[in-house]
Amino acid sequence: MRRKLLFNVLIGVLTCLVVGYFSSMATRISVDTWYPTLKKPFFNPPNWLFAPVWTLLYLLMGIAVGRIWFFGLHHRWGKTALYHFGFQLIFNGLWSLVFFGLKNPVLGFVVIIILLILIERSIKWFKMVDLFSAQLLYPYLLR
């Protein structure tokens, strides 16, 4: 049982990190050219902070989804939680493509709003399966 849980968590982490890697490809193209030209608020974090923070967030997301996959796969709530998580992961990657790849902050804002709703829905359904997994998504929601 423990081996299966570790396998699910490993697959969850790898999946999230792969999405993060491909999202970062769009980011890398514009982060040194287009992004610096944008007017940003005074509390905007430095660029060097994004990679370690997002790596940590993707790790937490992967652990959370792996646990949900293990504990809830054969339950309707677990499947619903996985669907919501899958869609939010798609929108997570889509945001980088829209904001940095297409250089479209307005459409990026629309994607962010949808993403926040999907993260909130994921947390709601994760709570029904495994409270710890839901708690692992809170830093992602607050990012």
pLDDT digits (tens, 9 = 90+) for 50-108: 999 999 999 999 999 999 999 998 889 999 999 999 999 999 999 999 999 999 999 99
Six-digit token pair at 93?
């990657």
State the fold for domain 2-142: Ferritin (1.20.1260)
Residue 1 has pLDDT above 80, yes or no: no
Model pLDDT, residue 120: 97
- For residue 55, the model assigns a pLDDT of 96
Res. 32 pLDDT band, cuts 50 70 90: confident
By percentage, how much of the chain surpasses pLDDT 90? 88
DSSP letter at 101 equals I
Reading the block at residue 50, the tokens are 């994004």
- Residue 15, both tokens: 């999946």
Burial (CB count within 10 angstroms: exposed 0-12, middle 13-18, buried 19+), residue 23: buried
> What single DSSP character describes residue 32?
T
